[in-house]
Each structure stands twice: as C-alpha cells, then as structure tokens.
Amino acid sequence: MTAVAAGRDGAGGRSARGVVEMIFRARELSLVAALAVLVAVTAAANPNFLSGQGVKDIFLNTSILALLAVGQSLIVITRNIDLSVGSVVGLVAFTTGQFLAADPGGRGVALALVYGIAVGAACGLVNGLLVSFCRVPALVVTLGTLYVIQGLDHYIAHGRQINAVDLPPAVLALGNEGVFGVPYLPIITVAVMLATGYYLRSYPSGRDFYAIGSSPEAARLAGVPVRRRVLAAYLFSGALAGLAGVLWLARFGTVVADSARGWELLVVSAVVVGGVAIVGGVGTVYGAALGALLLTTIGSALVVLKVNSFWQQALTGALLLLAITVDRVLAVRVTRLLRRRSVHHGA
C-alpha cells in the first residue's frame, strides 16, 4: 500500500468514526432537548416543580438509577444484559443495614461501603463466570440469579425491616446531606460516570468492550480477551449495584427485603433510552445517565401534574420501543453511509 493510499484510508477511517460519533452525540443532545421541553411544560403547569426542594428530589431520585445504568451500560455494550441488579440492590440494602445495626457505634460509612460493594461484586462475579466462562446465555443466567437473590433476601429478612433509628447518623447523612447545598448522592454518581466514561473512551481495554459488542468473534480474532472483559463488565456492574444498595439504605433509612424490586427493567430502559444499543457496540454512559434522568423527571412530572402512575409505566414502555426503533434506523443508515464512504475512498 502506498503512503498516499494509507493516508487516504486513515483519513477515511477517521472521517467515518467522526460521522458515527456525531450521529450518536446528536442522540444524546435530543435527550437534553426532551428534558428541557418536559421541564418547561411541567413548570408552566405547576411552578413548584422547579422549587429548590423539587429539583433536589429529582437529582436524589435519579442518582441511584443513573449509577445502576452506568454499570448496566458496560454489559449491554458487550451485547449482554443483567436482570439481577434490582435484586442485588435489595439484598445489599437489607444486609448492609443489618450489618450496621449490629454495632451502630463502631461501624460507619467506610465499612458500609466496603461491605455493600463486596456483596454486590460477589453477585456480579457469579453472573460473569456463568455468562463468560460457562457460556450460558446472559438472559437465562441473570433471570435465574434475580430470583435466587430475591429468595435469599427474603430468607435473611424473615419479614423484618431495617429502621433508620438503627443506623449510624453518618450513614443517614450520606443519603440526605451534601456539600455547599449539593447532595452527596449526585456527586458520587457523577464522579463514577465521568471516570467510567473516560476509561471507556481513553484506554484500549475500555474500547475492547465496544469491539466485543460490535462482533465478539472478530474481537476474539483480534486478540481481545473477550471472556475476561465480559467478566469484568459483570463484576463492575455488580460492584455498582452494591454501592447503589448502600446509597439506597442511606437515602431511605427504612428498608425491607424487596427494596428496588422491579428496577431491573427500569435500569435497562434508562440505558436503551439513553442511546446504548441493545444489540451492543454502541452508546455511552453519559447517554445512559441522561436516560435515567429523563425517566425520573417524567415520573416526578406526572406526580406534580396529578396523573395516574400507570401512565409512567406506559410512557417508559413507549420510550423503550421508540429507542429500539431509532437504534435500528440509525444502525441501518450508518451502515449505508459507511459503505458509501468506503467505496468513495477506495475508488
């Protein structure tokens, strides 16, 4: 290959990547626009929606969902799924509360975080080993562990609940206080999101996740350790679910065995609505976090507007179907565009 041809191909590759990034960045900008319209309409109907406490509640409610969406994004990018995250949050929230209540004077925030993340990571490790090394379909594995973890949680709880009065004040402060008026929960979520997004974009091992999602076989032939990367995605998602469980406990104080029940589908919806393609290989954690913010804002807006909560589920389902349709249309158009550019540069 001549230097000219090589340069032409390199320029074509960079141009193609630029087109793809531009298209999916536009997807994220469309979420921002939808959020702006939703907030404007709701605020016009009820000005209290944008009160200081109202905005604070939206960000607090978004934080845990967005944190779970960041972890789920890595798994979906690799063309897999994790339906057990809601159960992991419930298990970690209750067992961490039980752990702290046993010695509220000697166990604080640091021990709670270590304990919760360790339990969540253990659950993610089980899922990852079964999916990556035992090659069991992710849907089957995580649906099974969803029920196993739920059963274990109910067995441990025996109908009991953890009350806020049993917890150390520092743990409750983590969920309800902040720095300069900004709650700790959104700060933690944003920090995790930025670090994860930077890693995925800037490190070769981070880009491996996209390669696996685009074509697992091609990634394997290119030398990508597919099994280890998939295992790492599940381990990371499990650890974030454990962190989310501790934050759930800190936020609400009183928890029962079925905390966060049903959230697995809400998390998947946030990820897909945020532009992470369900077929893998495309999307960002920033988009997933925006999807979580959009779904949470819709729920808050419906409450403010006194609309039946059933419509929140209906709108979530409609957004999910719309996102999948848009992903499919974009994928087809991007493929055609890249083919045309490839023919043009190869001419």
pLDDT at 6 over 60: no
Q: Is there a domain that residue 13 lies in?
A: no
Q: Which helix (H) or strand (E) holds 346?
A: helix 310-346
Alpha carbons 94 and 78: distance in angstroms, whole number: 30
Predicted pLDDT at 244: 96
CB-count burial class (<10 Å; 0-12, 13-18, 19+) for 123 = buried
Q: Is there a domain that residue 347 lies in?
A: no
- Does residue 182 sit in helix, strand or coil? strand
Contact between residue 216 and residue 79 where contact means Cβ atoms under 8 Å apart = yes
Q: Is there a domain that residue 16 lies in?
A: no
3-state DSSP of 268-279: HHHHHHCCCCCC
Q: Is there a domain that residue 73 lies in?
A: yes
pLDDT digits (tens, 9 = 90+) for 44-74: 888 888 888 888 888 998 999 999 999 999 9
| Residue 259 confidence class, pLDDT cut points 50, 70, 90 | confident
What average pLDDT does the chain have? 85
Alpha carbons 39 and 205: distance in angstroms, whole number: 38
Predicted pLDDT at 25: 65
pLDDT digits (tens, 9 = 90+) for 240-258: 999 999 999 999 988 988 8
Predicted pLDDT at 11: 42
Q: Is there a domain that residue 164 lies in?
A: yes
pLDDT above 90 as % of the chain: 50
Single-letter residue type at 88: V
Q: Is there a domain that residue 111 lies in?
A: yes
Domain containing 220 equals: 30-36+49-338
Q: Which two tokens stand for residue 51?
A: 């009160």
Lowest mean pLDDT among 222-231, 296-305, 309-318: 309-318
Instruction: Report the candidate in 291, 297, 248 with the shortest Cα–Cα distance to residue 268.
Output: 291
pLDDT at 208 over 90: yes
CATH number of the domain enclosing 312: 1.10.3470
Q: Is there a domain that residue 346 lies in?
A: no
Q: Is there a domain that residue 184 lies in?
A: yes
Q: How many domains does the structure of the chain reveal?
A: 1
